[in-house]
Structure 1
């Protein structure tokens, strides 16, 4: 694995770990201010809309564990990258254990020496 791929994979691990804290203040710094996220329940543009959507998910799925698997880098460049992966989640919804899975595609950009999520598309 190249140094760049290792650096970006480490970013995705931090993103996954931040998501699993269910603390939006840990997730938000990893998202670009002008990002666009496409979730099964709709599209969200800009950091404010995206963080509100993520907070709603945290509220609906209690004790969620989100896992990225089979991460594959499609594009690797010094200031942008694209990956695709499978994701799994487990948690409690309305008092009942639930789980799901799907596919994800992310576009990352380097801003002021730090990687940020510019686009996320999750589908189940």
Structure 2
């Protein structure tokens, strides 16, 4: 299992402790509506999303590893989510960029950027 698969599995656990295991302490997330610069801000954003979209399933499609070195790897992909908002099925897609760095011989997520698909 590669690090992106591990991250997707952690996201779908709906338990931030699982995400935090692979989150760099200096991680920065660019969401469509907010920038999160601390682990606490990232946790709050995830937990709010899980409370809003019940039983959410998150997937990465069309993954493209655009950079690989011994210390950093970067991928882009189309994200897909589905779940229930106000008891009604909802789903959506967008684009994502994830940057992982190696620290103490472990891959950690240091940056994620999510945005809508272009119109």
Superposed, 1:55-66 pairs within 5 Å as 55-66=47-58
Instruction: Kindly provide the CA deviation profile for residues 51-101 of structure 1, in whole angstroms up to 9, marking residues without a partner as x.
Output: 111111111110000000111111101011111001101000111110000
Query: What TM-score, normalized to structure 1?
Result: 0.90
Any gaps of 5 or more consecutive residues in structure 1?
1-8
Instruction: Tell me the C-alpha RMSD between the 2 structures.
Output: 1.0
- The answer to whether residue 23 in structure 2 is matched with residue 31 in structure 1 is yes
Superposed, 1:7-18 pairs within 5 Å as 10-18=2-10
- The answer to whether residue 81 in structure 2 is matched with residue 89 in structure 1 is yes
Task: Return structure 1 stretches of 4+ with deviation > 3 angstroms.
Answer: none
* Greater alpha carbon shift after TM alignment, 99-108 vs 44-53: 44-53
Aligned residues: 116
Structure number having the greater helix percentage: 1
Any gaps of 5 or more consecutive residues in structure 2?
none
CA distance in 1, matches of 2:25, 2:38: 6
Aligned to 2:115: 123
The partner residue of 1:109 within 94, 97, 101 is 101
CA distance in 2, matches of 1:41, 1:51: 15
Instruction: Kindly provide the CA deviation profile for residues 5-41 of structure 1, in whole angstroms up to 9, marking residues without a partner as x.
Output: xxxx711001101111111111111111101001112
